[in-house]
Amino acid sequence: MKHYLWLAFYLLAGVSYAQKRTYTLADMPFSIDSITGGIVYKGVIKTPGVTADQLYSQAKLVLSTVFPKDNQINQAEDQAQGLIRGRGRLFIPMNSTRVGETSWQAYYEVPIEIQVKDGEYSYLISSIDMVNKGKKTSLNTEISKSLPTIHQQVLSLDEYGRSLRSVRPIIKFIKELKRGMKPHSSGLFSWLR
């Protein structure tokens, strides 16, 4: 019986400790650019044995699939430099909770730069805008206003969860980019269907 009481105590203490876990900027899936003060998503992905030309073709396919023509704001290509730039919309599901108010479309305008080399590629997403009910807001401007506070802010589990949900479309896009850039990847862009 004594063993069961100790086990129950440790379980309760563990649950209590887990609920008190806090999160900071370092736990977020993005970083803050030291020059602009804006949100930046970036990464370098190794792809051994894959040529720059193959990665370039894959990058074009990924952008054209995620940002189809009606969703694409602009795209610039420079195959000699292994560089593709695009900008498109990632829609955020918005539902009204008010009676009589209809749902609306909000979205992020997301610029992306993909640089390819033999055996690796890098991506950079920055200068993101959010458009909600026709009003465009630069996330860089909003973040830079409260930058000193953000660096010191400590989030609870619930606050951290809300923060992650707000950037879910961007996280999904990055996951699909990584999946799409793998050689012979299948089941691409399943989240778009």
Say whether 126 sits in a helix, a strand or coil.
strand
Residues 106-155 pLDDT 10s: 888 889 999 999 999 999 998 888 888 889 888 777 766 666 666 667 77
Orientation angle between helical segments 52-66 and 168-180, nearest 10 degrees: 140
Q: What does the alpha-carbon distance between residue 53 and residue 59 come to, in Å, rounded to a whole number?
A: 10
Domain ranges of the chain: 20-182
The span from the CA of 9 to the CA of 172, in Å, is 39
Position 114 scores a pLDDT of: 94
CATH class of 20-182: alpha beta
Q: What is the pLDDT of residue 53?
A: 92
68-96 as b/e: b if 16+ CB within 10 A: eeeeeeebeeeeeebebbbbbbbebeeee
As a whole-number percent, the residues of the chain with pLDDT over 70 amount to: 70
Write down the pTM of the prediction: 0.73
Q: Tell me, what's the pLDDT at 6?
A: 45
Q: What is the pLDDT of residues 183-193, one digit of tens each?
A: 765 444 443 43
